[in-house]
Amino acid sequence: MLTKKLDALKIKKSKIEGKGVFANRNFKKGETVVKWDTSIVLNEEETKKLSKNEQRYIFPFRNKFLLQQSPARYVNHSCNPNTKVVNNSSDVAILDIKKGDEITSDYSLFFTPDEVMKCNCGSKNCKKILKYIKK
């Protein structure tokens, strides 16, 4: 299910990775940019039955796994993100976002100890390799 704010967002090709979510209007710092559809919650066994492509969109959620839907599934990682995940159900602007900007978040904040990912964000402070951060 698409969010009510989809008219405020646009999904298109990203320079970071595949598809991305882009602001179709300005967002103020502190404003909810993407409200997630949390209707598809899976257990670990169910996640293993998903295709490799669908497994890319799994997010740890309340001791289970959320299969993210559009547009949230297309929010790309950045080492210099413009949103943060709040209450495991939305991306909130951590700075003012201008119309046309790609909506990004820091994936590494939610990695498990064995997860590693090559970063393609292109930001000046890019970590190149993302891995678990001890909290």
Q: Domain of 78: which CATH number?
A: 2.170.270.10
Q: Is residue 11 part of a domain?
A: yes
76-105: average pLDDT: 95
Q: Tell me the two tokens of residue 75.
A: 């929010």
- For 91-133, the pLDDT digits (tens) are 999 999 999 999 999 987 777 677 788 898 989 989 888 876 6
Q: Is residue 128 part of a domain?
A: no
Domain count of the chain? 1
CA atoms of 111 and 133, how far apart (whole Å): 7
Asked if pLDDT for residue 55 goes beyond 60, the answer is yes
User: How does DSSP assign 69-96, residue by residue?
Assistant: -TTGGG-EE-SS-SEEEETTTEEEESS-
Q: Is residue 43 part of a domain?
A: yes
Full residue range of the structural domain in which residue 75 is found: 4-105
Q: Is residue 89 part of a domain?
A: yes
Q: Is residue 117 part of a domain?
A: no
Q: Is residue 132 part of a domain?
A: no
Q: Which pLDDT belongs to residue 18? A: 93
From the list 92, 85, 129, the residue with the least C-alpha distance to 110 is: 85
Q: Is residue 91 part of a domain?
A: yes
CA atoms of 97 and 87, how far apart (whole Å): 21
* pTM, 2 dp: 0.86
Q: Which pLDDT belongs to residue 1? A: 37
Asked if pLDDT for residue 135 goes beyond 70, the answer is no
Residues facing residue 21 across a β-bridge: 11
Q: Is residue 115 part of a domain?
A: no
Q: Tell me the two tokens of residue 98.
A: 């201008």
Q: Which pLDDT belongs to residue 110? A: 75
